[in-house]
């Protein structure tokens, strides 16, 4: 198992697409955090809102980019047919999938920890120099790290099911950004309580901040929302695992 993890780590850090995406994942939130901290004003009544705008919001970009990286973790091997070489070197596919899950899940968790902390340091310096009310929310930071981990594994599971990044990445991005927005609007017109059952909408509750961060109709607590989104992630990973074990490479 250690050899499989080492092999996946080498592939993870040497594939050009991964390196570029990792650089964007770590760098873009910092740029956004600095810009938002510079344009923030002291009219915000809740200091946690300043924190959310300058730290949580930019870090959400990293969350979704980690999901894209999760898709590429297995999808690009199918796209370039290198998955056949991987399975030939390690016939036990479950061991390969476990190694990929460990490597990409660990990276997602680290990004979920490091990125908001860097944004926190940078934005706090800028905001305090401008006398903007600012208060960090520890629960939101922990929730964001968990969300980043789950989203990375969600992308990995989706990549395992669909196998082709050209299809899996648009599905992964359009699901929370477009589909759930449209469905959420329909649910709001019928019954706002239904919105809580949308997976990504519920998952974002992990990183909620401020007085009204839940939004109308979300309803689930932070922990329950995390368990709910985690259940979707687990189901997708298990389905992808099952399909990889049974389909031809």
Mean pLDDT, range 213-228, rounded to an integer? 70
Cα(17)–Cα(166) distance, integer angstroms = 14
Please count the residues of the chain.
249
Task: State pLDDT tens for residues 170-197.
Answer: 999 998 888 888 887 887 777 767 777 8
What's 213's DSSP letter?
Answer: T
Cα(200)–Cα(46) distance, integer angstroms = 25
Residue 1 pLDDT > 90: no
Mean pLDDT, range 217-227, rounded to an integer? 76
Cα(223)–Cα(227) distance, integer angstroms = 6
Q: Which domain holds residue 74?
A: 2-246
Buried b / exposed e across 59-93, counting CB within 10 Å, b at 16+? Answer: bbbbbbbbbbbbbbbbbbbbeeeebeebeeeeeeb
H helix intervals, 175-221: 180-190, 199-203
Mean pLDDT, range 202-213, rounded to an integer? 73
Residue 216 pLDDT > 50: no
Report the pLDDT value the prediction gives residue 236, as an integer from 0 to 100.
Answer: 93
Higher pLDDT among residues 88 and 198, named by residue: 198
Residue 2 pLDDT > 80: no
Q: State percent of the chain over pLDDT 90.
A: 31
Q: Total structural domains in the chain?
A: 1
Cα(179)–Cα(160) distance, integer angstroms = 21
pLDDT band, residue 30 (cuts 50/70/90): very high
Report the pLDDT value the prediction gives residue 210, as an integer from 0 to 100.
Answer: 60
Of 73, 74, 52, 58, the closest CA to residue 24 belongs to: 58
Higher pLDDT among residues 248 and 212, named by residue: 248
Report the pLDDT value the prediction gives residue 46, as an integer from 0 to 100.
Answer: 64
Tokens representing 236 are 């997708």
Q: How is 102-117 classified by DSSP, letter by letter?
A: HHHHHHHHHHHHHHHH
Report the pLDDT value the prediction gives residue 188, as an integer from 0 to 100.
Answer: 73
Q: Which of 28-32, 210-214, 222-226 shows the highest mean pLDDT?
A: 28-32
Q: State percent of the chain over pLDDT 70.
A: 92
Residue indicated by tokens 């899996």: 168
pLDDT band, residue 214 (cuts 50/70/90): very low
């Amino acid at each position: 198992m250690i050899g499989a993890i080492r092999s996946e780590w080498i592939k993870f850090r040497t594939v050009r697409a991964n390196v570029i995406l990792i650089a964007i994942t770590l760098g873009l939130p910092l740029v956004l955090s600095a810009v938002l901290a510079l344009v923030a004003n002291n009219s915000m009544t809740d200091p946690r809102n300043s924190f959310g705008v300058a730290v949580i919001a930019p870090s959400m970009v990293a969350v979704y980019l980690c999901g894209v990286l999760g898709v590429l973790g297995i999808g690009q091997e199918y796209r370039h047919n290198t998955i056949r070489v991987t399975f030939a070197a390690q016939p036990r596919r479950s061991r390969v999938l476990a190694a990929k899950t460990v490597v990409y899940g660990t990276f997602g968790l680290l990004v979920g920890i490091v990125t908001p902390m860097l944004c926190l340091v940078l934005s706090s310096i800028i905001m305090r120099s401008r006398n903007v009310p600012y208060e960090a929310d520890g629960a939101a930071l922990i929730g964001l790290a968990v969300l980043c981990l789950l989203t990375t594994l969600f992308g990995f599971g989706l990549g395992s099911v669909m196998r082709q990044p050209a299809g899996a990445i648009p599905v992964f991005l359009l699901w929370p950004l477009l589909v759930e927005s449209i469905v959420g609007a329909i649910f709001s017109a019928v019954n706002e309580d239904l919105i809580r059952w949308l997976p990504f909408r519920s998952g974002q509750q992990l990183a909620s901040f401020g007085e009204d961060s839940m939004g109308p109709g979300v309803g689930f607590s932070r922990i329950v929302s995390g368990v709910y989104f985690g259940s979707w992630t687990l189901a997708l990973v298990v389905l992808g695992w099952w399909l990889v074990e049974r389909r031809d490479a």
